[in-house]
Amino acid sequence: MDFNRDVFIESVNIQFQGGFVGEQCSFILFHDAREVGRHPFFPSNSNARQCFIVSYDTLPIPAVTRLKLHFGTSTDFYGRLVVYDLQVVGMDGMSNAVAAPDAL
């Protein structure tokens, strides 16, 4: 996801279809074209909406301009993933106001 501006991502909420869930997952964070961090996340194999907090502890700068979700494998035998809902929650770097999940 390319945000075309500085944003501060607080969390990513994902709802998978059970049985078609990503494994060996990570958030890859970029500022402009440069990768600034990778953070693993571990979804459970269920239909429930899951919230994953994005940590900035090891990043050289707190703002990002792009987020990539990497799914190394899947719980499905054929490697399929089904995402019903994906929300990015955070703040716009320009206004520092809390953005609605769909605003980022």
| Counted domains in the chain | 1
With contact defined as beta carbons under 8 Å apart, do 83 and 16 qualify?
yes
Q: Judge whether 59 lies within some domain.
A: yes
* Average pLDDT of every residue of the chain: 88
Q: Is the residue at 27 inside a domain?
A: yes
In a domain, 78, yes or no: yes
What's the rounded mean pLDDT across residues 57-75?
A: 88
Residue 76: inside a domain, yes or no?
A: yes
- CATH code of the domain in which 77 resides: 2.60.60
Nearest Cα to Cα of residue 93 among 61, 71, 60: 61
Find the domain containing 41 and state its range: 2-99
Report yes or no on 14 lying in a domain: yes
Would 104 be classed as within a structural domain? no
Q: Can you give the pLDDT at residue 104?
A: 52
pLDDT average, residue stretch 80-87: 96
Q: What is the mean pLDDT of residues 43-53?
A: 96
Quick one: average pLDDT of 69-85? 96
